[in-house]
Amino acid sequence: MQKRGWILLGVLLAQGLSAGEISGRVKVSTSNAPPPVMLSPYSRNRYAPPGNLSAVSQPPVVVIYLKAHAGLGSAGGNYPVAVIDQKDLAISPRVTIVQAGTAVDFTNSDAVYHNIFSLSRTKRFNLGRYPRGERRSVTFENPGTVEIFCDIHSDMNAVVLVVPNTYYAIADQDGSYSIKSVPPGTYTLTAWRENQAEQTRQVVITSGDDHIVLDFDL
């Protein structure tokens, strides 16, 4: 190896040696499930039942991440294109997590037209109507939550969480998470759960040996 390489290795080792870990458990309450609805005949008959009702039985997706910080680097580089499909009058996957700068392809696999749009401040866009087989792309540069809807079918919706860096973890089924190799610094740890406001905590990593355990109640 060249000298530059050794220095890089050394730096890397040093970084790795001085990286902390943040882990914990997230307890998810189910108290804010929507009530059983008596829809009017109008709304009941107009559309087919939403395709992702099955999601009710699934536990919500929880993501723990660190807000943007100069020391954490930004998510640059090429990331693979994520694909979000519209099929059976539903958008899937329901929750997509991408790093800032990722491009997402929206494909229409249904026999009907769809019109994907979002009014979220993070990324406001409207792909217009396009038929089956077509795909249109959106690049999410800014971190944040993007709520996605179909302008034609009011029960179709999905969410894209754009994380600012690589320091994020998706909670397990039992709620445990772990973010490794966090360089020392003061950060804002955010617990994100779909359909809900985020919860944030301040976290300080002083040295590579720090292991911070933080639990959230969402």
Interface ranges with another protein (CB under 8 A): 32-40, 42-43, 46-47, 49-50, 52-53, 55-56, 117-121, 147, 149-157, 195, 197
Please report where in the chains the tokens 């800032």 appear, as a residue. 100
Judged by beta carbon, residue 29 or residue 202, the one nearer another protein is 29
Judged by beta carbon, residue 39 or residue 70, the one nearer another protein is 39
Which amino acid type is present at position 36? P
Residue 104 CA: distances (Å) to CA of 15, 69, 162, 173, 214 = 32, 24, 11, 26, 32
Give the closest residue to 100 by CA, choosing from 83, 122, 85. 122
Judged by beta carbon, residue 37 or residue 70, the one nearer another protein is 37
Q: What's the closest the beta carbon of residue 26 comes to another protein, in angstroms? A: 19
- Tokens linked to 149: 């809807």
Spatial separation of the C-alpha atoms in residues 28 and 157, rounded to whole Å: 22
Judged by beta carbon, residue 35 or residue 80, the one nearer another protein is 35
Query: How many residues comprise the chain?
Result: 218
Q: What's the closest the beta carbon of residue 149 comes to another protein, in angstroms? A: 4
Judged by beta carbon, residue 7 or residue 48, the one nearer another protein is 48
Q: What's the closest the beta carbon of residue 91 comes to another protein, in angstroms? A: 12
Helices (H), the chain: 3-17, 41-46
Q: What's the closest the beta carbon of residue 12 comes to another protein, in angstroms? A: 41
Q: What's the closest the beta carbon of residue 202 comes to another protein, in angstroms? A: 23
- Tokens linked to 68: 């943007």
